[in-house]
Amino acid sequence: MLAEDTRGLDAWKKVGKMFFTLLTLAEAGGTREIEVTTSDLARKIGSSQQTASRHLIELERAGFITRSVSRKGCKVKLTELGIGVLRDIYMVLKKALEPTLPTYLVIRGMVFTGLGEGAYYVTREGYRKQFVEKLGFEPYPGTLNLRIIDAESLRARRELDYYPGIEIRGFTAEGRTFGAGKCFRALVNDEVEAAVVIAYRSHYGPSVLELISPVYLREKLGLKDGDEVKVKVFL
């Protein structure tokens, strides 16, 4: 459920001087496959054809784009990693240039049955004690899992990675290490207290939201798999 994730930092280091080339490809529609010539790319980034060609090769090697030869030049598409780097930079700039932050974000998701590990992790004393101390409630032994269902909610979920939240420390117990994470207070369907739990290392990607609550949310709200849920996440 809930160890340090440096993938974003490593990706930033790799993109380096090629950032503007990656950005130029994105502006040209590169989140979908596009045709690119090195001469046109060189003109747009203000470099030589050799530099443009080298950037394409290095971006491909770093895993930021896919590239294949075409009659006009090459076909290029940004990968999820490449898009993620640009999104990370956007979020950093947004926080720097927009100092007035929202008080909450709204995320909508669909209830689904998870891997069944929530009850185990929530009841580990190292986590349970921190939840009680920092959130003010004893969590029900389990999590409510939501699969995010729209682009706006997914964008909001990704934003949470850039807010500090309520830190949950990792610990060692039972002969194993339990990872760190963070929480955000939340309100489910505008009526039930809960908290969003984000593990720094998780089986789930950003398309899934995990919630803990002092009550059994499925029972309290009459939820079943496939039901849509609104979560107001307080920053």
For the segment 59-97, what is each residue's pLDDT rounded down to a tens digit? 999 999 999 988 888 999 999 888 888 888 887 787 787
SS3 string, 24-90, reads HHHHCCCCCCEEECHHHHHHHHCCCHHHHHHHHHHHHHCCCEEEEECCCCEEEEECHHHHHHHHHHH
CA 17 to chain centre: 24
Average pLDDT, rounded, for the chain = 89
Confidence category of residue 13, pLDDT binned at 50, 70, 90: low
What is the arithmetic mean of pLDDT over 101-112? Answer: 92
Does residue 174 have a pLDDT over 50?
Answer: yes
Domain boundaries defined on the chain:
7-97, 104-234
Quick one: residue 213, left, alpha or beta (phi over 0 = left, psi -120 to 50 = alpha)? beta
What is the arithmetic mean of pLDDT over 149-171? Answer: 91
Burial class (CB in 10 A: 0-12, 13-18, 19+), 198: buried
Supply the pLDDT for residue 52: 93
Confidence category of residue 7, pLDDT binned at 50, 70, 90: very low
Write phi, then psi, for 113 (nearest 5 degrees).
-85, 125
Q: CA 80, CA 84: separation in Å to the nearest integer?
A: 6
Matching fold, domains 7-97 and 104-234: no
Higher pLDDT, 170 or 72: 170
Does residue 153 have a pLDDT over 70?
Answer: yes
Q: CA 60, CA 121: separation in Å to the nearest integer?
A: 39
The 10s digit of each residue's pLDDT in 181-221 is 999 999 999 999 999 999 877 767 789 999 999 999 999 99
Pick the CATH number of 7-97 from 1.10.3720.10, 1.10.10.10, 3.90.550.10, 3.40.50.300: 1.10.10.10
Write phi, then psi, for 66 (nearest 5 degrees).
-110, 150
Supply the pLDDT for residue 6: 40
Q: CA 199, CA 197: separation in Å to the nearest integer?
A: 6
Supply the pLDDT for residue 163: 85
Q: Which of 207, 216, 189 shows the shortest CA–CA distance to 150?
A: 207
Higher pLDDT, 130 or 7: 130
Q: Which of 201, 223, 196 shows the shortest CA–CA distance to 212?
A: 196
Supply the pLDDT for residue 50: 94
Q: Which helix (H) or strand (E) holds 179?
A: none
User: What CATH code would you report for 104-234?
Assistant: 2.40.30.30
